[in-house]
Chains A and B, each alone.
Chain A
Amino acid sequence: MSVLELCQWLQDGTISTALRESTTLWPVLEGSHLLGMSLMMAPVMMYDFRLIGIRWKNDPVSRVKWSFLPITFFGFTLMVTTGVLLLWSEPVKCYNSVYFRIKVVALILAGLNAMVFHSTIDRTTAQWDTASPPPFRARVAGVLSLTLWATVIFAGRYTAYNL
């Protein structure tokens, strides 16, 4: 079974059809997806700008991280939940969309960036907790994170236009 056949099979299913054709649930899902985006983006920005060294300069990196991370997780959970359902509602359209593919690649890269950051330079945070600006690699991780999440949002919105 190819990925396209899988998408077609999903799309023909009861759940996908019900989601797609619901005039109330679908807008609510999409609205909640946007809400999750704003809930997630602002705290991510705060942490990334601290890593780059242009916000919260007088506060330790770890304190900024643990103050904002719970909100990020909450927003991220909301985004993934609604995002999976939105994808479920029109998998074939997403499969055929160049922008959706860009979005998936950017999401994977954002995840990899976070994983590499947390498994390397982030382990030594205690040594540069109050440094402003932080070490070069931390700043790179911050810039990459901001760029990739902005790409995810751009590509996500563009998936909905039939360009």
Chain B
Amino acid sequence: MIHLIPFFGWAADISDNPAPAQFAFAQLPSWFPFFAWVDETRMSAFIKGTTWVFPLVETIHILALAVLLGSLFLIDLRLLGIAIRRWSPAQIVEQVHSFINWSVVIILVTGAILFVAEPRKLFDSAAFGPKMIFLALAIVFQYTLYPRVRTMQAHIPIWGRLLALVSLGLWFGVAVCGRAIGFV
């Protein structure tokens, strides 16, 4: 875009169109109509018009994340042989699986509301794209391979430790990229 700058004549203002951040959704222009449409919805307007909805929803989002990550820590620390050796991984899963499922539901619902609140910012965010990739991988992993933990009694095979590391890595990625949305 060309601006008239007093005393300095015409100059191109590069800050109007910065290059999209690496890994941001802005790298994929075909997604833009979707993000723009969400931005125009009445729900988005409603959230932007209040000061209390966003903090409340985000706090619930983080509380649910703490329960989810914490519950996975219990199982994964057991799989790695670090803690809670009194019970088998299967027994721990038995006690925490409903916490995991409910916190995943709450995280997805509150996350969708947070997305509706600021889609344009997220379109440009360098952290939101990677977060969605980690999230997709984590959810698929959580409900396909990870349930094998239910079969593990006293003896934990080597791939049990692998499941723990992959599980921690993927959900960590989601959490770290999610927190980074507020920083980058």
A residues adjacent to B (C-beta < 8 A) = 27, 30-31, 34-35, 37-43, 45-46, 55-56, 63, 67-68, 70-71, 150, 153-154, 157-158, 161, 163
Are A46 and B51 closer than 8 Å at their CB atoms? no
What are 24 pairs between A and B in contact, CB < 8 Å? A27-B183, A34-B62, A34-B175, A35-B175, A37-B66, A38-B65, A38-B69, A39-B70, A39-B73, A40-B70, A42-B66, A42-B67, A55-B95, A67-B83, A67-B84, A71-B74, A71-B77, A71-B83, A153-B59, A153-B62, A153-B63, A153-B66, A157-B59, A163-B55
By a CB distance below 8 angstroms, the chain A residues around B66 are 34, 37-38, 41-42, 153
B95 x A158 contact (CB < 8 A) = no
Q: Please give, as numbers and ranges, the residues of chain A lying within 8 Å of B69 by CB-CB distance.
A: 35, 38, 42
In chain B between 105 and 140, which residues have their CB closer than 8 angstroms to a CB of chain A?
Answer: none
Interface of A is mostly: helix
Spell out B's residues near A (CB within 8 Å).
Answer: 51-52, 55, 58-59, 62-63, 65-71, 73-74, 77, 83-84, 86-87, 95-96, 99, 175-176, 179-180, 183
